[in-house]
Amino acid sequence: MKIVMLGAPGAGKGTQAKKIADKYGIPHISTGDIFRANIKAGTELGMKAKAFMDQGQLVPDEITIGMLMDRIGEPDCEKGYVLDGFPRTIPQAESLTEALGARGEKIDYAINVDVPDENIINRMSGRRACLSCGSTYHIVYAPVRKEGICDRCGAQLVLRDDDKPETVKKRLEVYHDQTKPLIDYYGKAGALCTVDGTQSMEDVFQSIVNILGA
């Protein structure tokens, strides 16, 4: 099962992708998490990506596409995966379609987690992220058991550098301009399913399970 998560920054793509990965036994691949891991490790890729991410801009396709293609070529991806934050531009989607097409494969589901912009800023300011395992929490909607510590892996939680309100506004602009057209793209490909992302996390997940099958 090959899945793409679509939706604005803060719509809950990461939250739902993790649940999907756990339930269906496929890897959760987040380009944002890969970039953040590289920034933390101080790699050259991380340094390049950070300059764009801190401005709320997209990392250039030349960097992102190759990185993602390498990742989905790894052995754990044979049975499928859930992509979170990729594709984010039409050229990224076209590269993915082409690479899969060459092997007679395709994206089975593009799940659009639909949340209006008004709800986004509020969600982002309360978010806490684990840079070790990629888990995401919220101070009100998804609190941790022990403050500042990841329930899943025990690492220290952080506020993401790009969650400042002015950067979030820029990310939303970039989303509308460059990423939202993918809803149409996957609609035409017959893979699009939209879920109401303003529901509780459990209800959003149930809507997704209804689509993917139990």
52 binds, among Mg ion, ligand AP5, none (CB under 5 to 8 A by kind): ligand AP5
The nearer residue to ligand AP5, 15 or 26, going by C-beta atoms, is 15
Radius of gyration of the chain (CA): 16
- Which of these ranges, 20-28, 73-81, 86-94, 102-110, lies near ligand AP5 under the rule CB under 6 A? 86-94
The neighbour count for residue 60, using CB atoms within 10 Å, is 12
Distance (Å, rounded) from C-alpha 179 to C-alpha 130?
25
Which residues have C-beta within 8 Å of that of residue 101, sequence separation ≥ 6? none
The DSSP code for 57 is P
| Least distance CB 200 / ligand AP5 (angstroms) | 6
Name the phi and psi angles at 149, rounded to 5: -120, 135
Under the binding rule (CB under 5 A), the answer on residue 14 touching Mg ion is yes
Distance (Å, rounded) from C-alpha 64 to C-alpha 100?
17
Under the binding rule (CB under 6 A), the answer on residue 50 touching ligand AP5 is no
Site residue total, ligand AP5 (CB under 6 A): 38
- For residues 117 to 156, the per-residue mask of contacts with ligand AP5, x marking binding by CB under 6 A and - elsewhere, is ------x--xx--------xxx--xx--------------
Distance (Å, rounded) from C-alpha 17 to C-alpha 26?
10
| Least distance CB 86 / ligand AP5 (angstroms) | 4
Q: 139, 179, 164, 201: which is closest to 31 by C-alpha?
A: 179
The nearer residue to ligand AP5, 10 or 104, going by C-beta atoms, is 10
Do 128 and 158 touch, CB atoms closer than 8 A? yes
User: What does the block give as tokens for 126?
Assistant: 């309360």
The nearer residue to ligand AP5, 91 or 104, going by C-beta atoms, is 91
Name the residues that contact ligand AP5, by CB under 6 A. 7, 9-15, 30-32, 35, 52-53, 56-59, 64, 85-86, 88, 92, 123, 126-127, 136-138, 141-142, 162, 171, 197, 199-201, 204
Name the residues that contact Mg ion, by CB under 5 A. 14
